[in-house]
């Protein structure tokens, strides 16, 4: 089976995050990536220099033509760009049945650049109500109103610990009735962390698209991210890209 993963996200000209990281992740895990680009960014490992949003109707059209012809087994939503685009995406998502949706609410780039304004953040509520899983980092979770605010939408929450202090990173999978699972690991010391959130969400979507349950899909995705971090090629003067292209499934027993 080749899972068909529809990725809705922005383009990163430096290739470390966004749609480029999503494509690399889904491809290396054995899925077929389809894309709906929400914005074009001018960025490198040092930061975001410019953002050019794609018109919402074009984002929706990219999604719909892929769904109509190829079909879809899972959807990953990343950088959105505007409130109007968020609602256009939601309009398409609402037509899908029994398709897992992974929503990574991208608000702040690794460089610190803000990628979602207040109106866009407010529109995230509609997407969270449609999502299977929401995957914010610590600052994004605060901006969304905290754990209970996310869980109130009906989505399951993956509260990521990468932005927390300490040498041990803990990610918690939380459902409406409490914690489902948690994973901890030693922090990998590297500045080449650009695209970790994009990569994790896309890897989870690929796993769900091939029929994995949520906990094993998250566990597999975390392993992919950690392997890609350790294989970062060391490009750029800032937050460089990870080594997606150097990770091999055959190196993972049982996967």
Supply the residues annotated as catalytic: 160, 193, 195-198
Going by their DSSP bridges, the two strands 133-134 and 156-159 should be labelled as: parallel
User: Which of 12, 40, 29 has its CA nearest to residue 236?
Assistant: 12
Residue recorded with tokens 């998250």 = 218
The enclosing H or E element of 50 equals: strand 47-53
Burial status of residue 84 (CB atoms within 10 A of its CB: 0-12, 13-18, 19 or more): middle
Q: Quickly count: other Cβ atoms within 10 Å of residue 176's Cβ.
A: 11
Q: How far is CA 193 from CA 9, 46, 53, 156, 189, in A?
A: 18, 12, 25, 25, 9
Using an 8 Å Cβ cutoff, are 192 and 239 in contact?
A: yes
> Nearest 5 degrees, angle CA 100-CA 101-CA 105?
160
Three-class secondary structure of residue 56 per DSSP? helix
- Helices 83-93 and 56-69: crossing angle in degrees, nearest 10, is 20
Spatial contact of 173 and 158, defined as CB atoms under 8 Å apart: yes
SS3 196: helix
CA–CA dist 161, 155 (Å, integer):
19
């Amino acid at each position: 089976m080749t899972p068909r993963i529809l990725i809705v996200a922005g383009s990163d000209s430096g290739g470390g995050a966004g749609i480029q990281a999503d494509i690399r992740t889904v491809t290396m895990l054995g899925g077929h990536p389809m894309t709906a680009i929400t914005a074009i960014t001018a960025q490198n490992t040092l930061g975001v220099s410019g953002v050019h949003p794609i018109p919402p109707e074009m984002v929706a059209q990219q999604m719909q033509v892929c769904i109509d012809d190829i079909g879809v087994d899972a959807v990953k939503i990343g950088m959105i760009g505007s409130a109007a685009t968020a609602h256009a995406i939601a309009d398409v998502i609402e037509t899908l049945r029994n398709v897992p949706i992974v929503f990574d609410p991208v608000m702040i780039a690794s460089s610190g650049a803000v990628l979602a304004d207040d109106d866009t953040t407010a529109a995230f509520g509609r997407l969270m109500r449609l999502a299977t899983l929401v995957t914010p980092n610590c600052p994004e979770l605060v901006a969304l109103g905290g754990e209970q605010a996310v869980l109130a939408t009906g989505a399951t929450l993956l509260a990521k610990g990468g932005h927390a202090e300490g040498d041990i990173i803990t990610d918690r999978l939380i459902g409406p009735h409490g914690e489902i699972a948690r994973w901890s690991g030693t922090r990998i010391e590297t500045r080449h962390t650009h695209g970790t959130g994009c990569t994790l969400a896309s890897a989870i979507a690929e796993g769900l698209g091939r029929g994995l349950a949520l906990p094993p899909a998250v566990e597999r995705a975390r392993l992919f991210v950690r392997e890609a971090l350790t294989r970062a090629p060391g490009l750029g003067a800032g937050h460089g890209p990870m080594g997606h292209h150097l990770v091999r499934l055959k190196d993972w027993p049982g996967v």
